[in-house]
Amino acid sequence: MKRSQWKWLAISVGFSTLALVLVLYFTIDETTFEYLKKLKPEFLILALGLHICSMCFWGLRIQKMSESLGYKVKFTHCLNMVFANLLVAAITPSQAGGEPVRIHELYRADVKLGDATAVVIMERVLDGILLAVIGAIAMLLLATTWSNMDLDIATPMMIMWAIVSVFVLLFIYSVRKPEFLKHLLKKISKIIGKRWNPKKLNYYMEVIDLEVDNFHNTLVLFVGRARMGLVWGITFTALFWFSEFIIASLILMGLGEKPYFIESFIIQIIIAILMMIPLTPGSSGIAEISATSLYSLFIPSAIVGVFVVLWRLILYYFNILIGVLGSVVIVRREMIFRKLKKTKEKLIDK
């Protein structure tokens, strides 16, 4: 990584560490140590194993969606790009910053740039749709106890689900009417860019036209000849999010608490959406504070801090570790590739 990237990684880890120290400071008491004596490490090992499985589901999603477009990409290559993507996501604002890495790695696997972009765009679209569907199902399952829930948690649940649902509905409509999406984005850009230079605004208008067309062509591609890729994409997206969301429940069980499966699913959706807002590198600090605030509504305050630390160790710090390993593999390959290229050029010159 470049020096600037190491700096952002340090900032991201610093934010997260500070948040975790504060959470522990305000939540640990005598009862905490009683809970720790009853800790069941097998559940924590299972949670880590499930997280690794979710990375495999992500790699399989990329492989199968690429295969539907006529490309054969090795699973190990797809898995490594997922790992490297995790490191970039940890140093960019929000946790949705690894797309360029995945596009680059697909391109290195001889996938055309347009098709590689199509695969990555469709991944994000499927993520949005699945989050909305999971949220709707979870809230329906909670309907009988909804009136007994604290308003502090019920309100953000409804707001977050409504936001995702609106985006999904806009997406569905824009599939049929791409001009509507262009008009909407241009209108938003004009409001935001009132003080911009006219040339700059015109440039963004052209970019919007180009990107919306690319987006629409991607959808047409996967609904048409690559529809099996869409089926595989939906399947592995569902497996990915299910396995990621159940990790928190396994950690709770490891701490001797009830798993709170449905409640935890909804809270994980809220946190996932909050972590997509570009506020801090890798959403560090935001994830810790959000999880502490929401989970403290139904689990004992004595173990909230420990729970959040274990949750972030698996879903953030472990991601950085495997992300570094994945990036090292890519950097090493690129160095060899450049060396071979220079050698070839020298032989041609002779």
For residue 192, what are the CA distances in angstroms to 172, 196, 279?
25, 9, 18
Would you write out the chain's pLDDT as a tens digit for each of its 350 residues?
A: 566 667 777 878 887 888 888 888 888 888 888 888 888 999 999 999 999 999 999 999 999 999 988 899 999 999 999 999 988 887 776 555 678 889 889 989 998 877 888 888 888 888 888 877 777 776 666 655 555 555 455 565 566 667 666 766 776 666 667 676 667 666 666 665 566 666 665 665 666 666 666 666 767 777 777 788 889 999 999 999 999 999 999 999 999 898 888 888 878 887 887 777 666 666 777 888 888 888 888 888 889 999 999 999 999 999 999 999 998 998 888 888 788 777 776 666 65
CB 16 within 8 A of CB 95: no
Max Cα-Cα span within the chain: 81
Contacts of 106 (CB under 8 A, 6+ apart): 62, 66, 71, 73, 81, 115, 116, 119, 120
Say which residues have a Cβ less than 8 Å from residue 125's Cβ, sequence separation at least 6.
171, 219
In a domain, 348, yes or no: no
Domain count, the chain: 1
CB atoms within 10 A of CB 137: 13
pLDDT of residue 49: 96
Whether residue 15 lies inside any domain: the answer is yes
SS3 279: coil
What are the angstrom distances between the C-alpha of 15 and each of 281, 288, 330? Answer: 9, 10, 27
For 268, the domain range is 3-330
In a domain, 63, yes or no: yes
Helix residue ranges, H only, the chain: 3-27, 30-37, 41-67, 75-91, 99-108, 113-141, 151-176, 178-192, 198-223, 227-254, 261-274, 286-295, 301-312, 318-349
Predicted confidence at residue 64, as pLDDT, reads 95
Residue 344 lies in a domain: no
What are the pLDDT digits (tens) for 177-230?
Answer: 767 666 766 666 666 556 666 666 566 566 666 666 666 676 777 777 778 888
Specify the pLDDT at position 151: 46
- Find all residues with CB under 8 Å of 101, minimum gap 6, and list them: 81, 84, 85, 88
SS3 281: strand
d(CA 138, CA 131): 10
Q: What is the pLDDT of residue 90?
A: 79
pTM: 0.81
CB contact at 8 A, 320 and 92: no
Q: Residue 341 falls within a domain, yes or no?
A: no
Q: Is residue 319 part of a domain?
A: yes
Which residues share a beta bridge with 94?
A: 281
Interatomic CA distance for residues 160 and 2, integer angstroms: 36
CA separation for the pair 347, 341 (Å, rounded) = 10
Query: Does residue 343 sit within a domain?
Result: no
Terminal C-alpha separation, the chain: 35
* pLDDT for res 337: 79
The pLDDT score that the predictor gives to residue 174 is 66
pLDDT reported for residue 52: 96
Which tokens go with 231? 């089926």
Distances (CA, A) of 130 to 36, 137, 239, 303, 333: 35, 10, 10, 30, 35
> Has residue 318 been placed in a domain?
yes
